[in-house]
Amino acid sequence: MRTLTAFILIVYSVLGFASSAPVVMDLSEYDLDNREEFEQFTFLPIVGSSTQGTFVYSSYSKNLLGPTSVGFGWKSVVLSILPKAIGSEAYDNFIIANHIIDRRINLIPSDSELCKLTEGAESSLRGIGAIYTTRVLFGGYPKACSLTVRFFLYPQGPSEDTILNILSAQGSVALKYSLSSEPRLVATVQFHEIIRVLIDLGALVETPSGAFEGVSESVLNQAMLIDPELFGGTDSIPSVSWELFINNLVFDEGFVRVNLTEENRILILEEPSIHIVTVDEEL
C-alpha cells in the first residue's frame, strides 16, 4: 500500500458574522483617561459612567477540547484562547467592589494575528507527515479566538497522541495584537480664510515681501468677531482653537505679521493616540 505523505494546510477565515468578527477600532465612546489598569486586564469605562465599560485582556491561556470523530478517518480538536484574568481574585474583586457592568465586547483590531499555528507547530506536523486542516474562528466573548484542527489518521501515519501532543504543547498557537486609540481631533482652524477676512476688514495689509501685517490690537479684536465656525466652534471660538490661531502669528513690537503657506492653510491639533495593550503570545 502506498503511504500517504501529502501535506494539506487550509486556512478558513470566518468573517461573515457580526457577533464574532473582530471589532473595527473606534474608542471614542470610552473615557480612556479614567481607565483602570491591572496586571492581566484593563477596564475601559464608557464616557459618563464609572461602572459600565469593556474589559481588555493582556494575558491568555490555551484550552484544548477533543478530539472528536468527524468521519472517514478524520478527527477534530478545538484550541480556544481565553483570558487568564477571568475568575481571578483581582478580576472578581474589581467587578464586585465597583459594581461593574461588562459590555462583553472583544476589542481586538481587525489586523490581529489570531489563533494561528506557530511555525514550530507547523514544522512538527510536517515532520511527522500529518495531514490536517485548520479553521480560525473569532469570538465569542471572552474568548479571543478558536482554532479548529482536523487531522486524518491513516495507516503508517502519525498516531493521534503524537498529533495531540504537538497541539497541546506550549507555543503551538500564536495570538498577537496591539490596541491603541485613534488620534483625537482637538481643533481645526481655517487659517487662510480667517486671514482673508482680516484683510477684507483692513486689519491686515500686504507688505512688499508678500507677507501680511497689521496692528496687533486691531488684528486680535477683529479676529475675535469672526464667525466661530472658521475656528471649529459654533456659538463661540473654542479656547484651544484661539490658542492655535495665535501661535501661528508673529508678534513684533505691537505689530502682527503672517505668511500664508500651503502648510498653514488649515491648522489641525490632535491628541496623540493612547496605547491600551499589546499581546504577543505563543500559547
pLDDT at 185: 87
Both 131 and 37 in one domain: the answer is: yes
Residues 116-168 have pLDDT tens digits of 999 999 999 999 998 889 899 876 899 999 999 999 989 888 999 999 999 99
Both 32 and 105 in one domain: the answer is: yes
Evaluate whether residue 3 is within a structural domain: no
Average pLDDT, the chain: 88
Position 6 confidence tier, pLDDT thresholds 50, 70, 90: very low
Both 36 and 166 in one domain: the answer is: yes
Whether residue 2 is predicted with pLDDT greater than 90 in this model: the reply is: no
Both 47 and 168 in one domain: the answer is: yes
Both 111 and 164 in one domain: the answer is: yes
Whether residue 8 is predicted with pLDDT greater than 80 in this model: the reply is: no
Position 110 confidence tier, pLDDT thresholds 50, 70, 90: confident
> Which region among 9-18, 78-87, 125-134 has the lowest average model confidence (pLDDT)?
9-18
Average pLDDT over residues 269-279: 90
Number of independent structural domains in the chain: 2
The DSSP string of the chain is -PPP------EEE----TTTSPPPP--TTB-GGG-EE-SSEEEEEBTT-SSEEEEEES-EEEEEEEEEEEETTEEEEEEEEEETTTT-HHHHHHHHHHT-EE-------TT-EEEEEPHHHHHHHHHTT-EEEEEEEE--TT--EEEEEEEE--TTS--HHHHHHHHHSTTSEEEEEEEEPPPEEEEEE-HHHHHHHHHHTTS-EE-TTS-EEEEHHHHHHHHTTS-GGGGT-SSS--HHHHHHHHTTSEEETTEEEE---STTSSEEEEEPP-EEEEEEEE-
Both 16 and 100 in one domain: the answer is: yes
Both 234 and 123 in one domain: the answer is: no
Residue 239's domain comprises 191-265
